[in-house]
Chains A and B, each alone.
Chain A
């Protein structure tokens, strides 16, 4: 399965799949982390998507990478879901 292949990558700390309502449907993290990530990232993705569309209504968000001091969060949005992968790029 896709998540197993990603999970097997070096440095991957967690994978969460969130549906269009922002509800996590699959996760490799504990419950409270999952809920926190899902909620916060759902908001961020919605804002990123509207930013792209405000600049050009014909354009659309395809990927988002949030790099911080400690790790990197990658988000691949799809029509009905989005895939969140948290990785430590230093590993």
Chain B
């Protein structure tokens, strides 16, 4: 757990990182650096999007699986890392 903490702190300290959210296998945010309502909104929307991205990958090749998703928008970038049904969401401002 200490290693997880350290990794998350390192990510959070990176230049340009606006927020990080860790979501468990049930879709519940278990750790966040953002306010509650923002966290809930991101967790829900990104869980849905990640599930669709995963389905897309598996439909093309059932032996394949989604590992990472990067959603770049005009204002910032959302990165989602998937492992064991957990999601690590990092929102960063790439311009900083």
Range for the number of chain B residues in contact with chain A: 20 to 34
Chain A, 15-59, CB within 8 A of any chain B CB = 36-37, 40-41, 43-44, 47-48, 51-52, 54-56, 58-59
Chain B, 41-96, CB within 8 A of any chain A CB = 41-42, 45-46, 48-49, 52-53, 56-57, 59-61, 63-76
Contact B72 A67 (CB under 8 A): no
Contact A67 B73 (CB under 8 A): no
Identify whether the interface residues of B are mostly helix, strand, loop, or mixed: mixed
Contact A59 B66 (CB under 8 A): no
Contact B73 A41 (CB under 8 A): no
A88 vs B1: C-alpha distance in the bound complex, in angstroms? 33
A44 vs B61: C-alpha distance in the bound complex, in angstroms? 16
User: 22 pairs across A/B with beta carbons < 8 Å?
Assistant: A36-B59, A41-B56, A44-B56, A47-B48, A48-B71, A51-B49, A51-B71, A54-B41, A55-B41, A55-B45, A58-B75, A59-B76, A61-B72, A62-B73, A64-B71, A65-B70, A65-B72, A67-B70, A68-B57, A68-B67, A69-B67, A70-B61
